[in-house]
Structure 1
Amino acid sequence: MTPAQSLLREATGLSLSRSEVERAIKNRMELTAVADTDAYLRDITPEELTALVELVVVPESWFYRDAQAFSAMTDFVRARLAADSGRLVRLLSIPCAGGEEPYTMAMALSDAGIGPRNFIIDAYDISPVCVERARSGIYGRNAFRAQDLSFRDAHFSSAGDGDYRINDAIRQQVRFKQGNLLELAPGARNGLYDVIFCRNLLIYFDKPTTKAAIAKLEALLMDDGQLFAGYAEVPSFCRHGFSPLPYNQAFGLQKEASAPALIRPAPARVSARPAPPPSRPAAPPPRNRAAPPAAPAVAPAVDLLAEARRLADLGDIKAAENACRDHLARHPESAEAYFILGLLNELTNKPQMAADYWKRCIYLQPDHYEALCHLALLAEANNDAAGAAALKARAARIYKRQQAS
């Protein structure tokens, strides 16, 4: 790890490639008219470090992204208030990017008839630029990717030039702050939040940093609260004290001690009495007696990944994606499902999302040859020659190993 990588790792917790870091530093050196890399790193100020961090964080989000999580959250909050109508439900969105996620939380709760006095949302992001953008509440068309945009008519007004401004009633439900999860001291916030959204952050962390981040989130979450993660992050949470909740495609989790019994296998029951001796087999029926009807055949379980491939071949991209996500709801560590999602996003000209899925694939299965090849091709298309070479070399080693075996 280079000194620059170490610097940004300490500031953000992110595991960044050498090429990403070098590209960001080159950009800042050009803007600040510094010619020597060592001098730039030696004399870097807190303000300059913040500007550098802005170039490596990934603030990609949109309203109602993965909408099932917001439906599950709303049901949970309703149940809370049904038990105590005067309760103030506290929710956290971290990282919040440009505010799309916490504002969606507020819209979903408001549309469910939950009054403003019954909930408040805290939203943190490491990027001060993202936080200021969120506070402004103004969004362009890229933030509106959901199929159903009725929420835009209900909660936004035109800001000119094709932009939209979120209404004050929703804005007042969210408190934005600049902050890093790893540096957030729980203190008085210990067990403060009923619901936490922390999605697609851990995929950029190494194992020790992931463990530290989950410990922070566990401290912030109430014992009977719920946490919503990204697709590829569920296994990490399950290895560190959480259990998945049975919400389809919502990727909700709960602390293991308070998780409902239905998501954990019941222990086998052991009889205290010895088993009776086996009875003598019955005599076969007479030949002229009608045989009992055969038991109906059990329909074979659908192979969702095979179905996803079939649908993709037919050009039904949306149905293929749904099949992959249904498979992930049952098998959250399926590298192949993430690989197929990457292909589907590549087909629909969304290279960044395709890359994210392939990275999750090789996180779960480091020797996935095809995913490495696709990432190498994408790196070449982005003029990242060093990154492409490293990925190709890694894929070549795996190919040789597979051929040898």
Structure 2
Amino acid sequence: MTPAQSLLRKATGLNLSKPVVERAIKHRMEHNAVSDPDAYLRQMTPAEMTALVELVVVPESWFYRDPQAFVAMSEFVRPRLAANSERRLRILSIPCAGGEEPYTIAMVLTDAGIPSRNFMVDALDISPACVARAKSGIYGHNAFRAQNMAFRDRHFSSDGDGDYRVNDDIRKQVRFAQGNLLEFDLAARTGYYDVVFCRNLLIYFDKPTTKAAIAKLRALLADDGQLFAGYAEVPSFCSHGFTPLSHSQAFGLMKETAPPTKPVLKPAHAPRVVAKPVPPLAARSIASPPSLPPSPPPAPRAPTAAPALDLLAEARRLADLSDIKAAEKHCRDHLAQQPESAEAYFILGLLNELNQQPKMAEDYWKRCIYLQPDHYQALCHLALLAEANNDASGAAALKARAARIYQRQQAS
């Protein structure tokens, strides 16, 4: 990692590629008439860091994006207010980008008949420019991509030049602020929020930062609250104390209250996959993938040989002890008996990722989805690898494929 990458990761938490950082540094050096990269970094000021961050964040959003999440939120909060009409719902949108998501939340709750006194939306983003744009409440054509535009007639006014401004009754329901999730002060906000929207943020983080971010979100969310994530982030949340909701295509989660009932693969720095009953593609169990038929009984063999399923169980146990080599050997022994075991290849991918062998991890995950094309987690891992390799089109294709699988399995 270059000094510039390290500097930006410390400031933002984002796992940025070298080309992205180099382009941003070059742009700011030209702006400041600086020719020496080392001198530029040594002379970094808070204002300059803010300008640099603006070049590497990607605030892409629109109104009513992934609408099922807002439907699920509305269904969740109604009983709370029915039980206590004086209650004030607290909702967090982080990162809020240009304000499209928090304003959508306010519009959905207003259209659901929830009085303004009963809810408030806090919206934070690391980018001051995004926060300023959100506070202005003015949006162009690109922010309106929903199929049904009736909400625009209800909650916006046109300026006559093609832009639209959010009406004041919606704007007053959202409080915007500049902030970084990883630096969020939990002193007065532990268990504070009934609902948290944190979508498509973790995909830019490395594993330690993802773990830290989820810990912050878990602390901010009430024990009986709900969190809505991006579809590629569901496995990460399920690996760190959350369990998915059954609402189709909402990608919602709640805090996990029951401990796992089976051993889990939990290498020191790799995502663990909890072996417990969950919807098929939200947190894939390593012990027995729920979308596959039961494995046939193993063929007769010498009494000293371990049963095929025991080999994977032992691989998980050894991985928990960070004995990567022995865990890999058990996976290979399992494959010698069941050469079409997609789950063995998936575990080998995780082990090689832990061993900092991303190319080998990629090869194993590709074998996994060749054998089991609907392996949601393998597709998500491959998408993240593609992003890390600056392959935006490949990552988008893998994410779209994973989304279709998730939706299909949820519908069934």
* Mapped partners of 1:331, 1:227: distance in 2: 24
* Mapped partners of 1:57, 1:110: distance in 2: 31
* Mapped partners of 1:209, 1:199: distance in 2: 15
Q: 2:63, 2:143 within 8 Å by CA — same for their partners in 1? A: yes
Distance apart, 1:356 and its partner CA: 4.9
Q: 2:228, 2:253 within 8 Å by CA — same for their partners in 1? A: yes
Point out where structure 2 has 5 or more consecutive residues left out of the alignment: 260-275, 279-372, 404-412
Distance apart, 1:333 and its partner CA: 2.4
Counterpart check, 1:357 vs 2:390:
no
**Alignment match, 1:229:** 229
* Mapped partners of 2:249, 2:138: distance in 1: 29
Question: Secondary structure, in 3 states, of the residue corresponding to 2:57?
Answer: coil
* Mapped partners of 2:402, 2:212: distance in 1: 18
* Mapped partners of 1:148, 1:62: distance in 2: 13
**Alignment match, 1:52:** 52
Q: 1:335, 1:361 within 8 Å by CA — same for their partners in 2? A: no
* Mapped partners of 1:337, 1:235: distance in 2: 10
Letter in 2 for 1:357: A
Distance apart, 1:337 and its partner CA: 12
Change (3 A) 1:183 1:57: same
Question: Secondary structure, in 3 states, of the residue corresponding to 2:196?
Answer: strand
Distance apart, 1:360 and its partner CA: 5.0
Provide runs of 4+ in structure 1 moved above 3 Å.
336-339, 351-356, 358-364
Q: 1:157, 1:166 within 8 Å by CA — same for their partners in 2? A: yes
**Alignment match, 2:20:** 20
Distance apart, 1:264 and its partner CA: 4.0
1:21-170 correspondence runs (5 A)? 21-170=21-170
* Mapped partners of 1:338, 1:246: distance in 2: 25
Letter in 2 for 1:143: A
Structure 1 residues 171-215: Cα deviation after superposition (integer angstroms, max 9, x where no partner): 000000000000111111000000000000000001100000000
1:369-388 correspondence runs (5 A)? none
Q: 2:232, 2:380 within 8 Å by CA — same for their partners in 1? A: no
Change (3 A) 1:358 1:12: farther
Distance apart, 1:355 and its partner CA: 5.4
* Mapped partners of 1:64, 1:208: distance in 2: 31
Structure 1 residues 296-324: Cα deviation after superposition (integer angstroms, max 9, x where no partner): xxxxxxxxxxxxxxxxxxxxxxxxxxxxx
Change (3 A) 1:154 1:215: same
Question: Secondary structure, in 3 states, of the residue corresponding to 1:257?
Answer: coil
* Mapped partners of 1:51, 1:241: distance in 2: 36
Q: 1:199, 1:228 within 8 Å by CA — same for their partners in 2? A: yes
Change (3 A) 1:170 1:124: same
Q: 1:123, 1:176 within 8 Å by CA — same for their partners in 2? A: yes
Question: Secondary structure, in 3 states, of the residue corresponding to 2:95?
Answer: coil
* Mapped partners of 1:362, 1:43: distance in 2: 45
* Mapped partners of 2:123, 2:394: distance in 1: 27
Counterpart check, 1:180 vs 2:195:
no
Letter in 2 for 1:199: R
Question: Secondary structure, in 3 states, of the residue corresponding to 1:218?
Answer: helix
**Alignment match, 2:251:** 251
Q: 1:231, 1:332 within 8 Å by CA — same for their partners in 2? A: no
* Mapped partners of 1:75, 1:142: distance in 2: 28
Change (3 A) 1:195 1:332: farther
Report the aligned-residue RMSD.
2.7
Structure whose alpha-carbon radius of gyration is higher: 1
Q: How many residues align?
A: 288
Letter in 2 for 1:169: D
Structure 1 residues 51-102: Cα deviation after superposition (integer angstroms, max 9, x where no partner): 0000000100000000000000011111111111110000000000000000
* Mapped partners of 2:193, 2:376: distance in 1: 25
TM-score w.r.t. length of structure 1: 0.67
Q: 1:13, 1:182 within 8 Å by CA — same for their partners in 2? A: yes
Structure 1 residues 121-162: Cα deviation after superposition (integer angstroms, max 9, x where no partner): 000000000000000000000000111110000000012320
Q: 2:376, 2:402 within 8 Å by CA — same for their partners in 1? A: no
1:320-339 correspondence runs (5 A)? 332-333=376-377, 335=379
Distance apart, 1:10 and its partner CA: 0.2
1:198-237 correspondence runs (5 A)? 198-237=198-237
* Mapped partners of 1:163, 1:209: distance in 2: 38
* Mapped partners of 1:143, 1:352: distance in 2: 25
Change (3 A) 1:156 1:11: same
TM-score w.r.t. length of structure 2: 0.66
